[in-house]
A and B are shown apart, each in its own frame.
Chain A
Amino acid sequence: MELQTAKHGRLWIWLDERIGLGGFAKLAKKKEVPLHRHTFWYYFGGMTLFLFMIQVTTGILLLLYYRPSAGEAFESIQFLMTEVQFGWLIRSIHAWSANLMIFAMFIHLFSALLLHAYRRPREMTWLSGGGLLALSLGFGFTGYLLPWNELAFFATRVGTEIPGVLPVIGPFLRRLLRGGNDVTGATLTRFYGIHVAILPASVTLVLGLHLFLVQKHGMSRPLSVETNSEEKKAMPFFPNFFLRDLVGWLCALGLLAALAAYYPAELGKKADPFQPAPIGIKPEWYFMAMFQTLKLLPSHILGIEGELLGVLGFGIVGVVLIAVPFLDRSSGLGKTATRLAAAFGFTLIVYSVILTYLGYTMNPTK
């Protein structure tokens, strides 16, 4: 006991007896991060988590002023941006952090895909990560409507029309999403509920599972490192890697503050359901590749409506992405399935980059 008091304070001992701090300390001591030439990519999962925590904090702050109705939403944000002290800052950080979080998440996803981190026994980690990506895109899509401005209104009209093109269940899904036949105040209220309650609750569960599995299996070593059978170098997670994580987070916070201060989130014009879509209308950047694909597809391909084929195509890519661990079951360097998985990842990156580039550079009126 004397020894313990010397090592830890009395508060530690008091808490340890009641909640078992020693267990956590043991866990933290045990956790290691493999060191190799791809270690850099390990930072992006934690980075996504950090940006998510910023989203939760700023999101709660925004709730204090936001009013979720078609008559008041736009005005409440106008008030927040112009009257509330630092209101512009909180909203800008929320908007920018959302973008950075999705970006960090994509890097995390593609590094896990290209380094084949999904392989046995981490299939469930991959699936829960896929679930988190879907939930995050849902956050982005529902949050985009909340300011109730022109861009948001049309982005939501198009976005909710996309499942609507599916045969049989399409119209029902569209009504379910919109809370009616058209995008109205009912849609806004529905999206608000999804954005601030349903999605956060779901993320909490799936994120909990994802983090638990990462602790359970430890970090994956890339195939090239694993088969090299050199001595497996590693770094203790706590405090060594964690401190490096913190440096990364500090950099992200600096970038975030700069972006929010120099490029504050815009509000635009209030949505008017009886005005034409504005020229140059665009979705968020992470939906741009899909948006541009739908723009370039002709009206009919082999007698089938172009947008239906496009939507089915996105669905198939999503299913293949989620199913990668089951398509590449016995990953190994040089194995066809493993190579195909990497080729699929590269193709997806190249395709998204080109289509996103076209989306931002093509003349919208031609």
Chain B
Amino acid sequence: MATNETSLPVDHGRRNFLNWFLGTSAGAFLVAVLYPVSRYLVPPEVEESTAHTVTLSVKTQELKANSGQIFRFGSQPAILIESPAGVVRAFSATCTHLGCIVQYRSDISQIWCACHNGHFDLNGKNIEGPPPKPLEEYVVNLRGDQIVVSKKG
């Protein structure tokens, strides 16, 4: 009995150590499982198209005043518009509100997003509804009958 009592503190230490050892092993095991799974869930970065310039398939003579159309700018949608006065401009077509794709409305001569009724003027500026920022504007160059759109700067 007496020896048991004296050995109690030692047992305690041993038990504590074993508990600590078991706890950290379990923790390490969990980390070893969860880390690869969490990394697996995050999709890898895919090289975005680095093209800063695109030549559109549509020709200048096919453009009509007071109209707009969506085109591919790399992997992103963009919109080419010709104002009623005949000025050609291009913007990102991704609405700055919640990412829908905008369209040109000839009845009001504005760029418009159907999702949450956001309005942008012919300079891409947000003028009505929830969009918080203007649309990103691209540079349009007309080379003969070709339309070349590039990023600013």
Cβ contact within 8 Å between B43 and A281: no
10 pairs, A vs B, C-beta closer than 8 Å: A157-B98, A175-B42, A175-B43, A275-B70, A276-B93, A276-B103, A279-B114, A299-B97, A307-B132, A365-B112
Contacts of A274 in B (CB 8 A): 70-72, 77, 101
Interface positions, chain B 94-120, Cβ under 8 Å from A, are: 97-103, 105, 112-117
- Secondary structure class of chain B's binding surface, majority of residues: loop
CB distance from A268 to the nearest CB of B (A): 14
Cβ contact within 8 Å between B130 and A294: yes
Contacts of B124 in A (CB 8 A): none
Tell me the total A-B contact number using a CB cutoff of 8 A: 92
Chain B: residues with CB nearer than 8 A to chain A? 41-43, 46, 48, 70-72, 75-77, 79, 93, 97-103, 105, 112-117, 126, 129-132
Complex Cα distance, B98 from A165, in Å, reads 8
Contacts of A307 in B (CB 8 A): 97-98, 130, 132
CB distance from B77 to the nearest CB of A (A): 5
Cβ contact within 8 Å between B130 and A277: no
Interface size on A, residues (CB 8 A): 38
Complex Cα distance, B46 from A180, in Å, reads 8
Cβ contact within 8 Å between B116 and A294: yes
Cβ contact within 8 Å between A161 and B99: yes
Q: Given A298-B130, A307-B132, does the pair A176, B42 have CB atoms closer than 8 Å?
A: yes
CB distance from B95 to the nearest CB of A (A): 8
Bits for A339-366, please: 1 = Cβ < 8 Å to B, else 0.
Answer: 0000000000000000000000000111
Cβ contact within 8 Å between A277 and B75: no
Which of A158, A273, A277 is most buried by chain B, counting CB atoms within 10 A of its CB? A277
Interface positions, chain A 247-296, Cβ under 8 Å from B, are: 273-281, 291, 294-295
CB distance from A157 to the nearest CB of B (A): 5
Chain A: residues with CB nearer than 8 A to chain B? 154, 157-158, 161-162, 164-165, 172, 175-176, 178-182, 186, 273-281, 291, 294-295, 297-300, 305-307, 364-366
Which of B71, B117, B130 is most buried by chain A, counting CB atoms within 10 A of its CB? B130
Cβ contact within 8 Å between A277 and B113: yes
Task: Across the A-B interface, give the 8 residue pairs with the lowest CB-CB distance, nearest first.
Answer: A276-B103, A161-B99, A277-B100, A277-B114, A295-B116, A161-B98, A305-B132, A158-B98
Contacts of A279 in B (CB 8 A): 114
Contacts of A176 in B (CB 8 A): 41-43
Q: Given A175-B42, A274-B77, A307-B97, does the pair A299, B72 have CB atoms closer than 8 Å?
A: no
CB distance from A164 to the nearest CB of B (A): 8
Cβ contact within 8 Å between B43 and A186: yes
Contacts of A365 in B (CB 8 A): 105, 112, 117
CB distance from B107 to the nearest CB of A (A): 8
| Given A161-B98, A161-B99, A277-B103, 6 additional A-B pairs, CB 8 A | A158-B100, A176-B42, A274-B72, A276-B79, A281-B114, A295-B130
Partner of A276, one of B42, B76, B101: B101
CB distance from A284 to the nearest CB of B (A): 15
Cβ contact within 8 Å between B98 and A277: no
Contacts of B132 in A (CB 8 A): 299-300, 305-307
CB distance from B38 to the nearest CB of A (A): 10
Smallest CB gap from A183: residue in B? B99
Cβ contact within 8 Å between B98 and A280: no
Contacts of A165 in B (CB 8 A): 98
Contacts of A276 in B (CB 8 A): 70, 79, 93, 100-103, 114
